[in-house]
Amino acid sequence: MSYDKELAAAKKAATLAAHLCQKVQKALLQSDVHSKSDKSPVTVANYGSQALVSLTLERELPSQQFSLVAEEDSGDLREESGQDTLRRITDLVNDTIANEGPHSFSILTIDDVLKAIDSGKSEGGSIGRHWVLDPIDGTKGFVRGDQYAIALALLDEGKVVLGVLACPNLPLATIGHNEQHSSSNEVGCLFFAKVGDGTYLQALDGSTQTKVNVSAVDNPEEASFFESYEAAHSSHDLSSTIAEKLGVKAPPVRIDSQAKYGALSRGDGAIYLNFPHKISVRTLYFSLTLLFYFDFSMLE
């Protein structure tokens, strides 16, 4: 099965969501940032992104049974305290659709948007097809004005068959120690792949498309490594120690969200290090084993 129609729909959905997110981040208002019941930060962009992805996939693939596993639900928005936020989300979704030119969407009502958000309540499973979405991966980075991503994948009978990663703030030029090789200041990347066909990078505006490959660097001294921006997510001290043992000379590239995976897929860096603060003895043993392997292999 080629999954061409599904990939085209996923690219369109992620692109629309990215455009909405760009609009919100550009003019981020304090009133746009809220707290869900679990106290994690969430913005109108999370809800708007999920609604757009859901609406687009259902509209582009009308003959397929639709199942979406996603992060948000409309519970807080249905409360009286969420009505202003809900109206803003609805306006943003309609504005984003209207700005895309000719389309088959009619003006969406508040109920349409609530239904689209709640379409992400599927429990998934190993039978049938299920879309999986993170409407904004890296919310803290989004709120801060840095990197974030819209991550969308399709599972068919329990296997991942395609994926799309929209990174609205990621430069088209390489980042990290290779960034001097390009003078491009353009931002906005769309990475996409389907089973058996490799990974491609497309400008978010659709103007360019290239096949990408991971770094071919095999000398640690020439490699750069990525790690999470948030020190709370990973031990920067341990990463630094491991990088030093490996002989890595370049400073770390700290980047939010799954945007780091897109950058790594095109060879911007060669290594990604992520160590939880409460690291298990087994994980530490495995890490030290890797260090010994690299140390001895460099002596051969």
71 has binding-site annotation: yes
137 has binding-site annotation: yes
Closest CA to 193 of 151, 234, 229: 151
- 170-176 long-range contacts (CB < 8 A, ≥24 apart) are 170/259, 170/262, 170/263, 172/201, 172/203, 172/208, 174/263, 174/266, 174/267, 174/268, 175/253, 175/255, 175/263, 175/268, 176/224, 176/226, 176/250, 176/253, 176/263, 176/268, 176/269
- Could you tell me if 158 and 142 are in contact, meaning their C-beta atoms sit under 8 angstroms apart? no
CA distance 92 to 45: 9
Which residues are annotated binding-site positions for Mg(2+)?
Answer: 71, 134, 136-137
Which residues are annotated binding-site positions?
Answer: 71, 134, 136-137
